[in-house]
Structure 1
Amino acid sequence: MRVGLDIGGTKTDAVAVAASGALAGRVRLATGWGPAGVTQTVVDAVAALRREHIGAAHISSVGVGMPGQVEPGTTRVLHAVNLGVAELDLAAAVGSRLGAPLRVDNDVKAAALGAHALRGRAHETMAYLNLGTGVAAGVVRDGTLWRGTHGTAGEVGHISIDPRGPVCRCGQRGCIEALAGGASIARQWGRPAPLPVVDMLDAADAGDAAAQRLRAGLMTGVAAAVRILVLTCDVDAVVLGGGVASLGDRLLGGVREQLTSRAEASAFMRSLRLADRVELLPQGSVAAAFGAALVGAAGAADAQGADHEPEETVAHG
C-alpha cells in the first residue's frame, strides 16, 4: 500500500493506493495547528487508514502534500502559514512512528501529479491550475512534473496582467492572483460572509456594480492563466481545481466566455481552441492525496535505487 496525504488548512484528505493503482481507502480528518499539530495529523491519518481500510497490509511509502515551500530533496517545509508552520522537517518530526519512508512535496505539485494520473491519459501534457487562497499551477508531461531550474515553474499567479490593478501580496500590481485568488477577492469584497467569493457572485448576479467588477477580474485572471499555460507549454488540457474552482459552472462558463471573446480578433488564438482545453477537476476528487501517494512511492523507489547503486557499481567494476 502507498499512502498519500493532502494536508489543508482545515482538513486533511488521506488515501491508500494499492499496487495496482486502485484506491483502497480514504479518510478525512481535521488538520492540527502548528508543527506539533501537523505532525500528529500525519500519524493519526495513517492510523485511521490502517484501522478503517487496510488493516495489517504493508505500507511501502507515505507521501505528503503541503502548502508552503519544500526544500528540494528534503522533507523540510517552510512558510506554510495557513498551517501555522514556519519551518518543519516532517520526516524528522514523525520519526519511526509510520513504519514507512516519508516524502513531502508542495500540495499544488502533488495535486497536478494526481490529476494527471487520474485522467488516465499517460502521454498527454496537462496543467493543473489551483485556484484557492492563492493561484499556482503544476505542469505534468508523460507523468513527470516540470519544476523548472529553481522549482518555480507554474507560478503563474504572480504574472502581472494589469499594472493598474489591485496590489498583490507579492508587491506587484494586477497579478493573476490579485484578481483571481480567493484571499484577494475576499479582501476586496470586504463584506462578512462564510463564502466571500460565492457572496460576491450572488451580488454580481443581482446587479451590484462592485461585485460585477470583481467577477470580471476573476474571469479575466483565470482566463489569462489558461492562455499563459497553453501558449508557453502547449498543454493538452488545463484542469481547474482548488476552493474557488468549487464554483463549478459559474466559474467555468465565465472563463470559457472570456477565452472565446478575447480570441475573436485573432485567427491564431481561435485556432488554439482555448475554451475546449479548460475543464474542472471533478467535485470530491482525490487528486491531491492520490498525487501525494505517487510522490511517496517515487521517493521510496529512488531510495531503493540508491541503496542498490553501490552494489551494482562494484559488480560492474
Structure 2
Amino acid sequence: MTGRRIRVGLDVGGTKIDAVAVDDADEIIGRLRRESGWGEHEVVANIVAAVRDLAAEAGFALDDVESAGVGIPGLVDADAGRVLHAVNLGVESLDLAVLAHERLGVDFRIENDVKAAALGAAVLRGITGSMAFLNLGTGVAAGIVIDGRIWRGSRGTAGEIGHLSVDPNGRLCGCGQVGCIETLCGGGALARAWGRPGALPVRDILDAAELGDADAVALRADLFRGAAAATRALVLSADVDRVVIGGGLTALGSRLDAGAREALRREAASSAFMRSLRLDERIETLPAGSPVAAFGAALVGAAESSKEIVSHG
C-alpha cells in the first residue's frame, strides 16, 4: 500500500486509544484500540506505538503517513501542539506534537477530544451548515462546527455546556456550582447518585427504572432532562441546525434517543416558541462505538495551520 496518502487519527481517552487510518477518499482503512497509559511518558509512548501497530495491521508504511492528529481531553493549545491539565491521563503539561514527531518523524496536530469528535461527526454524517456534537459520557461537553470549521468562541470554551447551571436546588457539581447539566446526565454523576456497584451503572439505572425502582425512575428522568437541557442550550445559544449525540452513553441505544426526544417534546408543550423550534426533530444519536472522535482527529491532523477548515469531500 506504499505511496498512498494516509492520515492517522487517535482519540486518546482515560483508559484507551482509538486509532484509525484514513485514505485520501476519507475512507477508514484500519482501526485498532490499545491502552492509553498514565503519565506523560506513557501517553506519548502509547500514541507512538498505536501509530506503528496501526500501520502494521492495515498494511501501510510509516512513510505513507502524511499527518497524524490527536484528540485528547484537557486544555489544548492547538497551535503549540501542547495539552494541559489532562487529569484523567496524569498529564499536567505535555508538548505532545513535538515529542511524537521526534519519535516517528510524522507531523502531529493536537485538538481537544470533543472538538475533534464534532468535526468527525459533521463529515461522517454529511452535515453541512452548523451542528453541535453533544458528548454524553462520564462528563458532558459539546463541540460546535460551522461550515466545516470548529467554533471555539473567544477563549476556547464554546460548547462547555456541562457546567451550565440549570437547577439551583440540584446536586453539587465537581466544578463547584450546583445543578449543572453534567450533574443530571453525566455518567459519573449518575453513577455516584445511584451508589450501587455495577460495570455499567447508567444502564443498570435504566433497567431498574423499567422494573419500577423509585430511585432509578428519578435518575432516569434526570438523564433525559439533562440531555434535553443540553440540546436546548446548544440550539438557543448557537442556533445549530443539528445536535448529534455521541459519547459513552450511546451504549444505551434507542432508550437514550427516545428518552431525550420525549423530554424535549414534554418540556416544550407549554411554550409555542419552544414548539416552533422542533428540537426533538433536530437531534440524532450515533451508534455505540462510532469512530467520530478518531476520524475527526485525522481531519484535524491534515488541516492547514489553525484555520481548521476541512473539506467534506
What's the TM-score once normalised by structure 1's chain length? 0.91
Q: Does 1:74 align with 2:41?
A: no
Cα contact 1:24–1:54 (8 A) shared by 2:
no
Larger Rg: 1
TM-aligned CA deviation for residue 72 of structure 1? 4.3
Matched with 1:113 is 119
Cα contact 1:156–1:176 (8 A) shared by 2:
yes
Matched with 1:192 is 197
Measure, in 1, the Cα distance between the counterparts of 2:11 and 2:160. Answer: 20
2:29 to 7, 20, 24: 24
Q: Does 1:5 align with 2:28?
A: no
* 1:91 alignment partner, SS class: helix
What is the RMSD computed on CA atoms of the aligned residues? 1.4
User: Partner amino acid for 2:305?
Assistant: D
**Gapped runs of 5+ residues in structure 1?**
304-317
Instruction: Give aligned pairs, total.
Output: 300
User: Partner amino acid for 2:100?
Assistant: V
User: Partner amino acid for 2:152?
Assistant: R
What's the TM-score once normalised by structure 2's chain length? 0.92
Measure, in 1, the Cα distance between the counterparts of 2:9 and 2:150. Answer: 17
Q: Does 1:60 align with 2:63?
A: no
Which residues of 2 match residues 117-196 of structure 1 at below 5 A? 117-121=123-127, 123-196=128-201
Measure, in 2, the Cα distance between the counterparts of 1:96 and 1:222. Answer: 42
Matched with 1:35 is 40
TM-aligned CA deviation for residue 95 of structure 1? 4.2
Distance 1:130 1:217, change over 3 A: same
2:100 to 91, 94, 105: 94
Measure, in 2, the Cα distance between the counterparts of 1:245 and 1:256. Answer: 14
Cα contact 2:248–2:288 (8 A) shared by 1:
no
Measure, in 2, the Cα distance between the counterparts of 1:25 and 1:60. Answer: 15
User: Partner amino acid for 1:69?
Assistant: L
Measure, in 2, the Cα distance between the counterparts of 1:251 and 1:80. Answer: 28
Matched with 2:260 is 255
Matched with 1:229 is 234
**Gapped runs of 5+ residues in structure 2?**
1-5, 307-313
Matched with 1:85 is 91
Give a deviation string over 1:105-127, Cα, whole Å, max 9, x none: 11000000000010123x32111
Give a deviation string over 1:136-167, Cα, whole Å, max 9, x none: 00111111011000000000001111000000
Matched with 1:302 is 305
After TM superposition, the runs of 4+ consecutive aligned structure 1 residues lying more than 4 A away are: none
